[in-house]
Amino acid sequence: MVHMYNIVKKEKLTPQVTLMEINAPLVAKKAEPGQFIIFRIDEDGERIPLTIADYDRDKGIVTIIFQEVGKSTKKLGAMDAGQGILDFVGPLGKPSHLDGVKKVAVIGGGLGTAIAYPQAKKLKSLRVQVDAIIGFRNKDSIILEKEMTAASSRLFVTTDDGSNGNKGFVTDTFKKLLSEGKIYDLVIAIGPLIMMKAVCELTREAEIKTVISMNSIMVDGTGMCGCCRLTVGGKIKFACVDGPDFPGHEVDFDEAISRQDIYRQEERLSLERHECRLGKN
């Protein structure tokens, strides 16, 4: 008998973004904000990392929120409550350090919002003042607005095209807050590498400690393959065991951006084959 991890609930947040609750009591018991899991749907599947967006220790449930970008996330997105996933490993990575801060800016770019959400929630519960800035392509791709409202003292939502009435990037809003004289003792920035790099450039100038979360390509997630390596402060670090959180000002973003597309060609091929199959059915 093969053990499966059951999908307890599925909810489409936007056409591309799905939330799932997975029955994984042991993972739920130990999960902390900042940590992630690796799933594998079936025997031929790839190992795919996803952040633990939320957890319920009593119910034994782990929440994941993912964007359908390639074959594996599309396959997962096509599954329904009641079905099972073959592998679900975690909690992996180091929990975020959230002690001893008073005023924090949490900046989420797109799906990064889902990764930043558990940290914001935890900070709020520690009575920290949280200014959250989350940005999306357009109005229809906004996720977790309600949840982030609850997890922050003030929430700013931006869209690239202004379709929600607040046009601009998250960095624009953040710059504005800084120029208004807002002071933060920590910035947590999670989103596309380009966005995190831009935030770090701002905070370096303003001398605000900044933590970012790396979403490197991974295989094992236990420090065994070195696939997820990046350069931090001139040294090689493994995102899966030394991170995924890193001090943003020390990260070599250009190298990380370059490494992100190692398998772009293969990923495209994999997706095309997958969609072609689906078309036939």
Partner 1 sequence: MIDQTLKKVEILEQDPNTRNKNFLEVALGYMGLSETMAKEEAGRCLNCKYPKCMDGCPVGVQIPQFIELIVSGDLEEAYQKIRETNSLPAVCGRVCPQESQCEAKCVRGTKGEPVAIGRLERFVADWHIKYAANKPIHVAKNGKKVAVIGSGPAGLTCAGDLAKSGYEVTIFEAFHTPGGVLMYGIPEFRLPKALVQKEIDQLRALGVEVRLNMVIGRIYSLDELKQDGYAAIFIGSGAGLPSFMGIPGENLKGVFSANEFLTRINLMKAYKFPECDTPVKVGKNVAVIGGGNVAMDAARCAKRMGAEKVYIVYRRSEEEMPARNEEIHHAKEEGIIFKLLTAPTKIMGTEDGWVKVMECVEMKLGERDGDGRRRPVIIKGSEHLLPVETVIMAIGQSPNPLIKDTTAGLKTEPWGGIVVEEETGATSLPGVYAGGDAVTGAATVILAMGAGRKAAQAIKKYLQA
Query: Can you tell me which of 9, 14, 15, 26 binds partner 1, judged by CB under 8 A?
Result: 26
Q: Which stretch binds partner 1 (CB under 8 A): 50-58, 90-98, 103-111, 157-165?
A: 90-98
Exposure class string for 208-223: b at 16+ Cβ within 10 A, else e:
bebbbbbbbebebbee
Q: Closer CB to ligand FES, residue 37 or residue 155?
A: 37
**Could you say which of partner 1, ligand FAD, ligand FES, none residue 258 binds, taking C-beta under 5 to 8 angstroms by partner kind?**
partner 1
CB of 277 to ligand FAD, least distance (A): 15
Query: Which of ligand FES, ligand FAD, partner 1, none does residue 30 bind (CB under 5 to 8 Å by kind)?
Result: partner 1
What does the alpha-carbon distance between residue 8 and residue 32 come to, in Å, rounded to a whole number? 20
For ligand FAD, which is the closer residue by CB, 178 or 200? 200
DSSP 41-96: -STTPPPEEEE--EEETTTTEEEEEEE--SHHHHHHHT--TT-EESEEEEEESPPP
Q: Name the segment binding partner 1 (CB under 8 A); options: 61-69, 167-175, 189-197, 220-228.
A: 220-228
Partner from partner 1, ligand FAD, ligand FES, none contacting 65, C-beta within 5 to 8 A by type = ligand FAD
What letter does residue 225 receive in the DSSP assignment? Answer: S
**What is the C-alpha to C-alpha distance for residues 45 and 43, in angstroms, rounded to an integer?**
6
Count of CB atoms situated within 10 Å of the CB of 273: 11
Task: Indicate whether 88 belongs to the interface with partner 1 (CB under 8 A).
Answer: yes
The single residue among 172, 201, 220, 250 that binds partner 1, judged by CB under 8 A, is 220
Q: Between 163 and 202, how does the x/- string for binding to partner 1 read (CB under 8 A)?
A: ----------------------------------------
Residue for token digits 């390509």? 217
Chain contacts with ligand FAD (rule: CB under 6 A):
36, 46, 48-51, 65-67, 69-73, 111, 114-115, 215-218, 244, 260-261, 264, 267, 270-271
Distance CA 32, CA 75 (A): 27
Cα(219)–Cα(153) distance, integer angstroms: 37
Residues at the contact surface with ligand FES, assessed by CB under 6 A: 218-221, 223-228, 238, 240
Gap between the Cα atoms of 118 and 51, Å rounded: 9
Q: Which does 47 bind (CB under 5 to 8 A by kind): partner 1, ligand FAD, ligand FES, none?
A: partner 1
With beta carbons less than 8 A apart as the criterion, state whether 141 and 158 touch.
Answer: no
Residue (66 or 238) nearer to ligand FES, CB = 238
Query: Is residue 4 at the binding interface for partner 1, with CB under 8 A as the rule?
Result: no
The torsion angle over the Cα atoms of residues 272, 277, 279 and 281, rounded to 10 degrees, is: -170
- Do 190 and 107 touch, CB atoms closer than 8 A? yes
Q: Is 57 near partner 1 (CB under 8 A)?
A: no
